[in-house]
Structure 1
């Protein structure tokens, strides 16, 4: 048996597609990701993998836990994604001084592929920026950076 109030609450559902920030951000993310994935396809990468290679390059030989924090992802998902890159010999995961900690770093092959992928990423970046225009691209980046403040409340 449904409460009379719960049925009237369902009328609010029709407002969600036009007003839900999460739904719009997720949809936009998928659309933009498809552009980058298509650009990176010639070197056998998708945006998620490219992002991992960039992050590892920037913080060379870092604990997996720290990398997960930097990328705002859980360690299990990150480890699964790293294993794909490790299988391709693009990254190496080794025990740290504390054997419980795994350090991840790029292999020479990983650095070479990152260098090869960079111009493809630049093409995708230019395409996305051209669609928005320079000013709106900067505004969008600023708004997206502001979402980092939400991590304090999540």
Structure 2
């Protein structure tokens, strides 16, 4: 038997596998909770970030939600097509498009917020309040410490730790 196969590897003991599974679970819960709104977790993140940072440009938005610029552009295209946000030329630089939510976008976001809060509650439901705090501290430490290894690094990730 060669050296590679003389040891049993249990993928369920690997953090990367558990993180991927938790992501699958969180997306499943989010789709279940927000299905009536036809909104994905990424679309919610973009709507919430544009609401929090009105008149932000797409590059800044991509950083805020930790996505690459092409993925962000595609999501913004879909949200704009649904009439949920608008892109307007910056008065300072006509090449830059500034994003704002439309009234329909604000309304959808208002409906989505309690659903997405419930998603977070359901994800963390198996944990005690103390475990939730510990889990989030450790999770944010992993994210901030490993941020630069991401395909879409967040410039403020160190603030999470």
Which deviates more, 56-65 or 122-131?
Answer: 122-131
Q: Give the corresponding residue for 2:154.
A: none
1:78-136 CA distance string (max 9 Å, x none): 10011111111111112222122221121111011111112222322332232223222
Q: Which has the larger radius of gyration?
A: 1
Alpha-carbon distance change, 130 to 116 in structure 1, aligned in 2, over 3 angstroms: same
How many angstroms does 1:20 deviate by?
3.3
How many angstroms does 1:24 deviate by?
1.9
Matched, 1:106 2:101: yes
Q: Distance in 2 between matches of 1:59 and 1:11?
A: 54
Q: Give the corresponding residue for 1:143.
A: 138
In structure 2, list runs of 5 or more residues that go unmatched: 151-161
Q: Return structure 1 stretches of 4+ with deviation > 6 angstroms.
A: none
How many angstroms does 1:10 deviate by?
5.9
Q: Give the corresponding residue for 2:24.
A: 30
CA contact (8 A) 2:88 2:97 kept: yes
Secondary structure in 2 aligned to 1:15? Answer: coil
Residue-pair matches, total: 148
1:15-38 CA distance string (max 9 Å, x none): 261343322212211111211221
CA contact (8 A) 2:26 2:119 kept: no
TM-score norm. by structure 2 comes to: 0.80
Structure ranking higher in helix proportion? 1
Matched, 1:117 2:112: yes
Alpha-carbon distance change, 11 to 94 in structure 1, aligned in 2, over 3 angstroms: farther
